[in-house]
């Protein structure tokens, strides 16, 4: 191992210390009774916070899963722990007439900061990201400069939310900042490259990293192709283990100043852009 690889954060992690920078998880979930099909450790809010503390994760952006009928539970949790969680609202395109009401109710809370995880391929939604039923949510986000996390990948789901289609949504709504969940690359370098190119073309498109650690050298490759300011840390916790997701950034062959941006500075800048309506 070279001196370049063994950076300060690398050494601290090997010594068992939590990351001592701002760390914002841009992609986490709050489990609800209807979304729990198996045992998931650290799934309750207090367990999530304990796991975050052990690793040095300051804030997790959390959303519910499922049909979208339990956003109120998400609001309750982020208001209980406003310094640890930022709320993201799940929207269901199967109920387009309800989207604005759902969003307005949730955004009465200052602890709610974004929309997502928009999941066009989920069993409850199964609707193309390009479909008109999402339009009220995009317009809501566009007017408020909201971050919007949109699932993308694997290749089998490309017909609903491929990266280039997400880019079309972003281009039509330049006021919102779009995070491509999983960077499109669950199982395909083709989808990853499409996501990278989408982020290169559109100023308001960013790549979210969860599940990408399965590809050796992928973080370095993404920084080289799209730049250090277009990538944000995410985990998909509590489904994915925070330890594994944080490790592939800590132990990447990147200088600490870039890791610091990926871990939290870039996502913080997106959250800081959120507008509060008059």
pLDDT tens digits along 230-239 = 999 999 999 8
Residue 213 banded pLDDT, cuts 50, 70, 90: confident
| Total domains present in the chain | 1
Instruction: Please check whether residue 2 lies inside any domain of the structure.
Output: no
Task: Tell me which residue has tokens 């799934």.
Answer: 43
Domain that holds residue 104: 8-272
Two structure tokens written together for 214 = 């399965």
Measure the CA–CA gap between 103 and 182, rounded to whole angstroms. 24
Instruction: Please check whether residue 1 lies inside any domain of the structure.
Output: no
130-160 burial, b for 16+ CB within 10 Å, e for fewer? Answer: eeebbebbbbbbbebbbbbbbbbbeeebbeb
**Residue pLDDT, tens place only, 166-201:** 999 999 999 999 999 999 887 788 899 999 999 999
Supply φ then ψ for residue 136, to 5 degrees.
-60, -35
Pairing between β-strand 59-63 and β-strand 85-89 as defined by DSSP bridges: parallel
Instruction: Please check whether residue 206 lies inside any domain of the structure.
Output: yes
Identify the DSSP state of 22.
-
Task: Tell me which residue has tokens 């973080």.
Answer: 219
Q: Which of 275, 276, 268, 274 is nearest to 26 (CA)?
A: 268
Residue 1 banded pLDDT, cuts 50, 70, 90: very low
Instruction: Please check whether residue 190 lies inside any domain of the structure.
Output: yes
Say what the pLDDT of residue 37 is: 63
Instruction: Please check whether residue 205 lies inside any domain of the structure.
Output: yes
Q: Is the pLDDT of residue 72 over 50?
A: yes
Say what the pLDDT of residue 40 is: 79
Q: Is the pLDDT of residue 2 over 50?
A: no
Secondary-structure percent of the chain, ordered helix, strand, coil, rounded to 5: 45, 15, 40
Please report, for the domain that includes residue 88, its CATH number.
3.20.20.140
Instruction: Please check whether residue 3 lies inside any domain of the structure.
Output: no
């Amino acid at each position: 191992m070279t001196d370049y690889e063994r950076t300060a954060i690398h050494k601290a992690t090997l010594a068992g210390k939590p990351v001592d920078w701002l760390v914002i998880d841009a992609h986490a979930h709050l489990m609800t009774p209807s979304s729990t099909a198996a045992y998931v450790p650290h799934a309750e809010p207090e367990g999530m916070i304990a796991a975050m503390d052990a690793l040095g994760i300051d804030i997790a952006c959390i959303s519910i899963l499922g049909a979208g009928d339990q956003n109120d539970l998400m609001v309750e949790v982020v208001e209980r722990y406003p310094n640890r969680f930022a709320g993201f609202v799940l929207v269901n395109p199967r109920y387009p007439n309800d989207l604005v009401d759902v969003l307005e109710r949730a955004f009465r809370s200052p602890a709610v900061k974004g929309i997502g995880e928009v999941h066009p391929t989920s069993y409850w939604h199964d609707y193309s990201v390009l479909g008109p039923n999402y339009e009220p949510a995009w317009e809501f986000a566009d007017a408020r400069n909201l971050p919007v996390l949109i699932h993308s990948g694997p290749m089998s789901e490309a017909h609903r939310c491929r990266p280039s289609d997400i880019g079309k949504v972003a281009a039509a709504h330049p006021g919102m900042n779009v995070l491509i969940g999983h960077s499109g690359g669950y199982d395909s370098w083709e989808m990853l490259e499409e996501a990278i190119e989408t982020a290169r073309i559109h100023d308001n498109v960013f790549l979210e990293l969860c599940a990408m650690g399965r590809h050796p050298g992928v973080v370095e490759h993404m920084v080289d192709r799209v730049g250090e300011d277009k990538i944000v840390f995410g985990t998909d916790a509590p489904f994915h283990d925070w330890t594994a997701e944080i490790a592939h950034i800590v132990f990447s062959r990147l200088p600490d100043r870039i890791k610091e941006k990926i871990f939290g500075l870039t996502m913080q800048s997106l959250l800081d852009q959120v507008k509060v309506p008059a």
